[in-house]
Amino acid sequence: MRVLVTGGAGFIGHHLIEHLLRETDWEIVCLDRLDTSGNLNRLAEVLAGRPDGARVTFYYHDLRASLSEQAHRQLGQIDRIFHLAAATHVDRSIVCPMEFVQDNVVATCNLLDYARAIPSLQQMIYFSTDEVFGPCPTGAYAEWDRYHSGNPYAATKAGAEELCLAYANTYKLPVFITHCMNVFGERQHPEKFIPSTIRNIRDGQTVTVHANADKTQAGSRFYIHARNVASALLFLCEHGTSGEKYNIVGEQEIDNLSLAQIIATVMQMPLRYELVDFHSTRPGHDLRYALDGTRMTALGWKLPVNMMNALQRTVQWSLLHPQWL
């Protein structure tokens, strides 16, 4: 088996590569353009001292451009594609929506055209987000519920999903879609909530927590460690069906203020925080997201890493590796 991981130098992508090395004997091709999200130092750290690291090769390409015949030859036979490459930061999507159309819609279309030209392809997994559904005041969204994107990032991920379904229907491409919630773990980009909270607590700075309009309720999420996400993606290689969608969900909901308080407790430092009206300060952001994980549970998938234990380890690891903060 020879697999392609797009965005493999990114946060979730490098955790997936590490998991595939540990759990399979597959050859892995990492494709990345090394921009804001991609960082080869992630791969360097997880591959250091590993003899099986020789199974990983790197290919530089910007998917906003189509893959040439030379790229096809250099990438070689590919049996499975994990498409994780994407622009992900909501704030930047609000400022530069066309950049996200190029990165998430055009790039996905170029990859789909590449994929349908591969005779050996068994499967392609498109990694999407819970944000395509928009805010979820109560309950949780199932895989085929209606979409209501609240920001350009979410809209471009939804558009890429529709392209995947179109290629599955039109060209019989063996592609399916996953939705995931807020992922955390080692080597995450410092702009994200958990690493930025660790840094601010360490430095005695105020942690900004987005809340409702009257600042009485902090936003909440179902956080999930990147190792759990990698486990789910590998599980779906055996259990996923072309043209379908699957929600990958953390085991418990937690509001961001409680999360910051837990991080401060682990660090044994005081928490300085400010609740901020998320509507006025971050248009296009939602107070609560929630996905229904029933389908994955019914297939037999179980979270291998406990969220609270993973959070504690992530905090401690980050303090020992301040270059990632």
Q: In Å, how far are 182, 200, 202, 210 from 190, measured between CA atoms?
A: 14, 11, 13, 17
User: Exactly one of 130, 161, 186, 286 is catalytic; which is it?
Assistant: 130
User: Exactly one of 18, 131, 143, 161 is catalytic; which is it?
Assistant: 131
CA distance 11 to 185: 8
Here the tokens at position 41 are 């130092």
Quote the radius of gyration of the chain (alpha carbons, Å): 19
Mean pLDDT of 283-290: 77
User: Exactly one of 114, 141, 153, 273 is catalytic; which is it?
Assistant: 153
pTM for this entry: 0.95
Q: How confident is the model at residue 285 (pLDDT cuts 50, 70, 90)?
A: low
Compute the mean pLDDT over every residue in the chain, rounded to the nearest whole number.
94
Poorest-confidence range of 7-11, 12-16, 278-282? 278-282
Three-class SS of 53-71 = HHHEEEEECCCCCCCCHHH
Type of residue numbered 162: E
Is residue 202 a contact partner of residue 269, using CB atoms and an 8 Å limit?
Answer: yes
All structural domains of the chain: 2-184+222-251+294-305 (3.40.50.720), 193-220+253-287+308-324 (3.90.25.10)
pLDDT of residue 213: 83
pLDDT of residue 283: 64
Active site residue 161: no
CA distance 10 to 192: 13
Active site residue 52: no
Hey, which residues does 190 pair with through a beta bridge?
A: none
Residue 24 has pLDDT above 80, yes or no: yes
- Tens digits of per-residue pLDDT, 28-56? 999 999 988 899 999 999 999 999 999 99
CA dihedral 109, 112, 114, 119 (to 10 degrees): -160
Active site residue 131: yes
